[in-house]
Structure 1
């Protein structure tokens, strides 16, 4: 069991959730406020996506990321910022021509995915370690793309959080470590419950954990109703935890959640198991992060 748990809050994501929840953070101000709320509730790390302020849809705009980062830093709130670099991999085959992307396709090169990270130099960014089916969409992240992206992250001096949605992703992430493309002790996020990737259950989490390399830091999450059971399971198996509106919209079937409430519930679970949650300063030391750039 992990007695010193880092809580990450994924505050908004990029999914089609704006019409499914009355208060999904959309604007940079709302996303920054959500990160601050999560930190005040006990999260050491805030995982950040940005959205088109007009539509709530997917955005990769560096200016929007910059505004979120600057607002959080100006608030004086101590929280580790983890910017997504996994956008721009959505491929939806056209119903009329399978060789072309249809409605919903959103593809970027590794350099384009890295652009906000390279400009803003957060303490952590994500590296999604493989392709997988997500409903009728395919998330595309090939071996060549991942090696290029890992080199960019390494050159920027940012800590990659390697997101693994399948057991094969863990295998390839180990390969990146062996090739020297990941600096320091590797950091993993085990992403469970996304249709149709790895299931959110004990056996799957344990199988993925047991394939991690030596010295690995790891965290895990489940989506929807599996979010809190996976909090308990990750802590019991020696890992860290992630919650937030990116992954789960409700406290119960009839009650919408806020990011702060989800963090508070995760903290309660961790503490009731006899563990404690780490502060941002403790998380930086444990993970070997650089000091936040101002």
Structure 2
């Protein structure tokens, strides 16, 4: 696998960070489209996309908001579009799937279990909130469980995977999530190749330690053999160090302002493309080539950009 070009995913805005955390977080459809296009031009083969309310930046499940930036991205790039099914903390499962069901992308993210997903510690680091909703949103995660039951996962696999030929970025926040994925494989609800995103550093999930990343990979090797590709997402300041380890292990990487707002200590990233260029430099320093969207499609068995609904 080490000889394969590295697939870079860029998660452009997400639903974790709030506008008060960084003035550079893309909020409007125009900002999201511009950041996504720049990231693709910098080398991202996959664009992982959320939407936000253009007026106040809160996470939005509205397919119409997605529809204001998806066609522009498709027109300007050949990158693979990956629409979230994680949505935001306050959304129902139906709301989280609505945009993907409407726009039928090549890929969707799919969290492999329910979990505590704690954002509330970030509240204490914000001196002044730009919008009224932000403080309550962050504090609510102190008593919040992100719900993705086996039934919820089955529903996504059937309604998106079977009905729309969508392939998935399986987001695994802990080792148990790998075993949940294996369960669905054994039930023949999934076919390889599997694209597994190891997510480290979210409070409530596995910690951002090098040993944990190696353990996740060894476990996935044992469960899936040669039927999978792995990528690594390190939350916050752990983004680039864990990406570097993934690249050294022959894996793929995910960067973007959804996962980290910085380029280094005390240095906010102004553009998503800045992080793409930074991780690309690390990859090339390790003699890893960068995968094109065409190569990513072939390796992940995607349906192609001509088969999407936007």
Tell me, yes or no, whether TM beats 0.5.
yes
Q: Partners in 2 of 1:127 and 1:216 — Cα distance?
A: 15
Provide the residue aligned with 1:126 in structure 2. Answer: 109
Using the TM superposition, give the Cα deviation of residue 113 of structure 1 relative to its aligned residue in structure 2, in angstroms. Answer: 2.5
Q: Partners in 1 of 2:161 and 2:74 — Cα distance?
A: 24
Using the TM superposition, give the Cα deviation of residue 238 of structure 1 relative to its aligned residue in structure 2, in angstroms. Answer: 2.4
Using the TM superposition, give the Cα deviation of residue 183 of structure 1 relative to its aligned residue in structure 2, in angstroms. Answer: 3.3
Between the two proteins, the alignment pairs up a number of residues equal to 276
Deviations 1:56-109 (A, max 9, x none): 01110001112221111222x111111101125x3xxxxxxxxxxxxxxx1413
Using the TM superposition, give the Cα deviation of residue 29 of structure 1 relative to its aligned residue in structure 2, in angstroms. Answer: 1.1
- Bigger share in strand: 1
Summarize the alignment of residues 1-294 of structure 1 with structure 2, pairs less than 5 Å apart: 2-3=2-3, 4-75=5-76, 77-87=77-87, 90=89, 106-109=90-93, 111-135=94-118, 136=142, 137-155=144-162, 156-212=164-220, 213-214=224-225, 215-257=227-269, 258-292=271-305, 293=308
Q: Under a length normalisation based on structure 2, what TM-score does the superposition of the two structures give?
A: 0.85
Consecutive aligned runs of 4 or more in structure 1 exceeding 3 Å deviation: none
**Conservation of the 8 A alpha-carbon contact between 2:61 and 2:91:** no
Provide the residue aligned with 2:123 in structure 1. Answer: none
Three-state SS of the structure 1 residue aligned to 2:188 is coil
**Conservation of the 8 A alpha-carbon contact between 1:125 and 1:161:** yes
Using the TM superposition, give the Cα deviation of residue 152 of structure 1 relative to its aligned residue in structure 2, in angstroms. Answer: 1.4
**Conservation of the 8 A alpha-carbon contact between 2:192 and 2:228:** no
Three-state SS of the structure 1 residue aligned to 2:68 is helix
In structure 2, the CA distance between the partners of 1:16 and 1:241, relative to structure 1 (3 Å rule), is closer
**Conservation of the 8 A alpha-carbon contact between 2:13 and 2:258:** yes
Q: Partners in 2 of 1:171 and 1:268 — Cα distance?
A: 34
Q: Partners in 2 of 1:282 and 1:217 — Cα distance?
A: 13
Deviations 1:167-196 (A, max 9, x none): 111110111111122233111111110012
**Conservation of the 8 A alpha-carbon contact between 1:153 and 1:160:** no
Using the TM superposition, give the Cα deviation of residue 254 of structure 1 relative to its aligned residue in structure 2, in angstroms. Answer: 2.6
Using the TM superposition, give the Cα deviation of residue 285 of structure 1 relative to its aligned residue in structure 2, in angstroms. Answer: 0.9
- Bigger share in helix: 2
Q: Partners in 1 of 2:159 and 2:209 — Cα distance?
A: 34
Deviations 1:255-287 (A, max 9, x none): 211211100000000010111111111111111
CA RMSD for the aligned pairs?
Answer: 1.4
